[in-house]
Amino acid sequence: GENVEQHPSTLSVQEGDSAVIKCTYSDSASNYFPWYKQELGKRPQLIIDIRSNVGEKKDQRIAVTLNKTAKHFSLHITETQPEDSAVYFCAAIPNSGYSTLTFGKGTMLLVSP
Partner 1 sequence: DTGVSQNPRHKITKRGQNVTFRCDPISEHNRLYWYRQTLGQGPEFLTYFQNEAQLEKSRLLSDRFSAERPKGSFSTLEIQRTEQGDSAMYLCASRTDISYNEQFFGPGTRLTVL
Query: By the criterion CB under 8 A, which residues form the site for partner 1?
Result: 4, 6, 32, 34, 36, 42-46, 49, 51, 89, 91, 93, 97-106
Q: How many CA atoms lie within 13 A of 22 on its CB side?
A: 7
29 vs 46, beta carbon nearer partner 1 = 46
C-alpha span between 11 and 80 (Å, rounded):
12
Q: CB of residue 30 vs partner 1: minimum separation in angstroms?
A: 12
Residue 70 — φ and ψ, nearest 5°?
A: -85, -10
3 vs 81, beta carbon nearer partner 1 = 3
**Cβ atoms of residues 107 and 9 within 8 Å:** yes
Q: CB of residue 98 vs partner 1: minimum separation in angstroms?
A: 5
Q: CB of residue 13 vs partner 1: minimum separation in angstroms?
A: 20
**Cβ atoms of residues 84 and 109 within 8 Å:** yes
Q: CB of residue 80 vs partner 1: minimum separation in angstroms?
A: 22
